[in-house]
Structure formats: structure tokens, C-alpha cells
Structure 1
């Protein structure tokens, strides 16, 4: 376990953000080389990696996923392994998640599965919502397409080692949207000679956040940025933009909210004689936990005598693992990082090393339970 902690600390020192995880991938490759996986897939749509350990007999293919990327946020916690990259840090715990999957790799190297295959996936760009889509789009994904997929995420605010579970939706789906309205600039002394999007922008800022009231289930629209023209007092603006994040617990509700957002923007643009452009960024699918896999995760936690808690409502945040749940039965669970642990994405957050062994044993327990069913 000490080697996994050391690996985690090294990864923490040299964080790389989404789609730039080249040296991180090289470190993972170096770690797995002596473990001799049966198949190694490199550069899955960029920096992604997958290591396949084959069983003695044919059977189901099981996938465990972790994330390669860090955040563009400064690491403020001073210690011997503090980030050496200015403005970047592993402040979501992906360094710890990688160490956990590496630990599963060590166990698989010593004990190949009895049946089927186990795929250990190191996914890029989780934070931006680009990674899962890119990996699944890679033609080689068909060679590792799983029958079941599992992932975990550490959760500050929950007791250390506690397993947080939920059947059905575990985390919301979300997408970022930027609406751009283009009119015509003019002299500010003659605004009537131009087409200023200010009025349309102001009305959209008032009306868009009200759209979730028209959605059957939980949804939320959060305005995050607005821009109008430029700081030129002699000019009436001819361009404006509004950015927002939409989220929902059900994919159909999210799609409906997106549809209503675009319809309102189009209506406003037409009324004000403005050209409309809509851009989507950071799209995350709803993370749906297959009910039939719940008992496997619960059994693994019980065998380790770990505390478990069922969350009554899904989390409002999103996780890129959700896209896998559209391709196979999947399950994402939480691993308590301590009630006093700083929250994810905070500058003082640091993944608790004690969780590495717990994560390894949880995944191993899930694997053992599935193997016993075949």
C-alpha cells in the first residue's frame, strides 16, 4: 500500500488538466508495465488508457473506471507533495482514484479472474465532460465494451470510509450553454440606427431561470456569465451573450429544459431582429445506477464491515461516468472522505490516503461477487 500512496503523492505533485494528461498517462503506463496485463490500450482518443486482465474461462467483461485529469485551480495545502504546477491541482481526488485502480491492477496481476475479463480504464477529461464521450467514440472501445461498469468518487462531508449509495439516478446530468445575440452597432448618440441586444439579454436573464418550473421533475438553470458590447461609451452595443448551466435528475427532463431554453432564446431573438447562435459545452449525462447492481455493491461494503448510507435524493453535481450508464448496466458509488475534509474543488482539499485501501477492497469485493454468480 505504501507504493500506492507514493504514486498518489507523485501524481498530486504533477497535475495535468483535461486533455493534457500525457505525463500522467506515462506514469500509469510505467506502473502497469511489471504487472503484465494481457492487453494494453494507449491513447484512447488522446490520453486514455485501458488495461485488460483476462480470465481462465469465457465470461462477462467488467470495467472499473478512474479519471486522469486535475483542475485549473491552485493547490493551497502545504505539504511535501504539494502541486509543483502553478495554478493546477488534484483538488477533486482523481489522484486517489487512480491509485485505487492501480491497486486493483496489482491484485489482478497476482490473481487473474476465474472467468471473463476485467478492464481498468483511466479516462481523460472527466472535469469537462469530454472524456467519456471521447473514449466511447474510439473504435477500439468495441474491444473493451463492458457488460458492467463501476466507478467511485470520494465525498467530503461523509464519515471516512462510509459507502454512499443510491439506486437509479445518483448524480444529475448537466450541460453548459452560451447564447450569443448579434445585432448592429451604432453611435451611442443614435442608438436607433443600430440593433442593441440589451433588452433581449435583460429579459432572458429574468425569464430563463423560471423555465425549470415548467419541467415535471427536478431541474435547475443557473446563469453564470453575461456580456454586452464593450467598454466604449460612444458605441451602442451590437452583440451580447449569456452563459448558463442546465441540470436535471432525469435525461428527458434535461432534454426538455434544453429545448425550452433554445425556444425562448429564438423567440426573443426574432422579436428583437437579432441573429442567434447557441453553443453547448461541458455536457454530462445523468449518472444512472442499475438497481440490479445495488446488492453487489452493498454486499462488498458489508463484507468489509463498512458503514453504508442510502441517499434519499440524487446529487446536484454531475459526473462524466454517467455516459457509460447509457451503454451498459453501471454503478457509481461514493466513498466518504471525512466530515471535516475540505470540499471538492477547494484549494485546501487533499485526498485522504486511508481511502486507497478501502477503494481497492471495494472493487475487489464487487469483482468477487460477480465472479461467484457466473
Structure 2
């Protein structure tokens, strides 16, 4: 286990953000070379990696996924493995998730599954919502298309090692949406000679956050950025933009919220004689847990005498793994990182090394249970 902790520390020292994870992928590839996987897929969906361990006889193909990318956030936690890259840090725990999957690889190198295949997937660009789609779009994905897919995420605020479970929606789907307004600049002494987006921005900033009240299930619209013209006191603005994040627990609710937001924006820009361009970024599908896989994961946790808890409501954050749940039965679960652990994406967060062995053992037991 010390080698996995050392690997995690090395990854933590050299974080790479979404779509830049070339050195991280190289380190993972170097780790797996002596493990002699039966098949290795490199540059999957960009920088992704997949290692296939074939069973002794035909059976189901299980995929276990982790993430390669770090965040563009300063690592403030002083330690002997603090980030060496200014302004970047593994502040979501993807370094720990990678170490866990590497530990599963070590076990598979010693003992292949009795039946079926196990695919260990290292996915790029989870933080931006681009990585899962890139993996699925890669023509080689057909070579590893799973019957079942699993992933975990560490969860600060829950007791250390506790397994957090939920049937159905585990985490919300979300999308970033940007509205770009184009009018006409004019002299600020003659604003009536131009078309200024200010009134449209003001109306939309008031009305858009109210739209979730019209959605039957949980949804949320959060304004994150607004821009109007430039800092030129002699000019009445002719351009503006408004950015927001929309999220919901149900994909249909999310689609409805997007539809209503676009319709409202179009109505107001028409009234204000503006042109509208809509842009979507960082799209995350709803993470849906297959009910039939619930007992498999819960049994694995109980076999290890780990505490389990069923979360009554889904998490309001999003996870790129949700896209896999649209393509095969999938299950995402949480692993408590400690009640006093700093929250994800905070500068002082650091993945607890104690969770590596726990994560490895849970995944290993899931492999064993799925064979029976």
C-alpha cells in the first residue's frame, strides 16, 4: 500500500488540468507496465487510458473508472507532497481515485477474474464535463464497452470510510449556459441612438433564477457572471453577456429548465431589439444508479464491515460519470473522507491516504461478487 500512497503523492505534486493530462497518463502507464494487462488502450478520448484484464472464461465485462484531471485552484495545504505547479492542485481527490484503481490493477495482475473482463479506465477532463463524452466518442470504446460500470467519489463531511449509497439519481445533471447579446453602440450622450443590452440584462438577472419554480422536480438556476460593454464612459454599451449554471435531479427537468431559460431570453431580446447567441459549456448528465447494482455495492461494503448510509436526496453537484449511466447499468457511490475534512475544491483539501486501501478492497469485492 505504501507504493500506492507514494504514487498518490507524486500525482498530487504534478497536477494537470482537463485535456492537459499527458504526464499524468504517462505516470499511470509506467505504473501498469509491470502489471501486464491483457490489453492497453492509450490516448483514449485524448489523454485517457484503459487497461483490460481478461477472465479465465467468458462473462460480464465490468468497468471501473477514475479521473486524470486536477483543478486550476491553488493548493494551500502545506505538506511534503504539496503541488509543485503554481495555480493548480488535485483538490477534488482524483489523485486518490487514480491510486485506488492502480491498486485494483495490482490485484488483477496477481489474480485474473474467474469469468468476464475487468476494464480499468482513467478518464480525462472530468471537471469540465468533456471527458466521458470524449471516451464514448472514441471508436475504440467498442473494444471496452462494459456490461456494468462503477465509480466512487470521496466525500468530505461523511465519516471516514463510510460508504454513501443511493438508488436512482445520485448526483444532479447540470450545464453551463451563456447568453450573448448584440445591440448597437452609441455615444453615451445619445443612448437613444444605440441599442444597449442593459435593460435585457437587468430583466433576465431578476427573472431567470425564478424559473425553477415552474419545474415539477428539483432544479436550480445560478447566475455566475455578467458583462456589459467596456469601461468607456463616452460610450453606451452595444454588447453584453450573462452566464449561469442550470441543474436538476431529472434529465427531463433539466431539459425543460434549459428550454424555459432560452425562451425567456429570446422573448426579452426581441422586446429590446437585440440579437441573441446561446452557448452551452460544461455539460454533465444526471448520474443515475441502477437499482440492481445497489445490492452488489452494499454487500461489498458490508463484507468489509464498513458503515453504510442511504442518502435520502441526490447530491446537487454533478459528476461526469453520469454519461456512462446512459449507456449501461452504472453505479456511483461515495466514500466518506472524514467529517472535518475540508470540502472538495477548497485550497486546503487533501485526499486522505487511508481511503486508498478501502477503495481498492470495495472494488475488489464487487469484482468477486459480480462473478457469482
TM exceeding 0.5: yes
Residue 312 in 1 paired to residue 312 in 2?
yes
State the shift of 1:160 in Å: 0.3
- Provide the residue aligned with 1:344 in structure 2: 344
Gaps of 5+ in 1: none
Aligned to 2:331: 331
Q: Which residue of 2 aligns with 1:192?
A: 192
- The alpha-carbon deviation at position 269 of structure 1 amounts to 1.0
Partner SS, residue 132 of structure 1: helix
Distance of 1:45 and 1:91 partners within structure 2:
23
> How big is the shift at 1:162?
0.2
Question: Structure 1: how far apart are the matches of 2:286 and 2:93?
Answer: 21
Q: Deviations over 1:124-182 (max 9, x none)?
A: 00000000000000000011010000000000000000000000000000000000110
Separation in structure 1 between the aligned mates of residue 260 and residue 147 of structure 2, nearest angstrom = 35
* Cα distance between partner residues in 2 of 1:45 and 1:36: 22
1:16 maps to 2:19: no
1:167 corresponds to: 167
TM-score, normalisation: structure 2: 1.00
Counterpart Cα distance in 1 of 2:154 and 2:282? 21
1:178 aligned onto 2:160:
no
* Residue of structure 1 in register with 2:120 after alignment: 120
Provide structure 2 residue ranges, at least 5 long, that are not aligned to the other structure: none
Match for residue 146 of structure 1?
Answer: 146
Q: Number of paired residues?
A: 372
* Per-residue CA distance 1:90-116 (angstroms, 9 max, x = gap): 000000000000000000000101111
Shift of 1:271: 1.1
Post-superposition offset of 1:261: 0.6
Local SS of the residue matching 2:321: helix
Provide the rounded CA distance (Å) in 2 between the counterparts of 1:358 and 1:265. 48
Query: What displacement does 1:270 show?
Result: 1.0
Cα displacement string for residues 276-322 of structure 1 (whole angstroms, at most 9, x for unaligned residues): 00000000000000000000000000000000000000000000000
Give the corresponding residue for 2:64: 64
Corresponding residue SS for 2:69 = coil
- 1:2-13 to structure 2, matched below 5 A, reads 2-13=2-13
Q: How does 1:1-374 map to 2 (within 5 A)?
A: 1-372=1-372
TM superposition shift of 1:349: 0.4
Counterparts of 1:37 and 1:88, CA distance in 2: 31
Q: In 2, distance between residues paired with 1:82 and 1:189?
A: 54
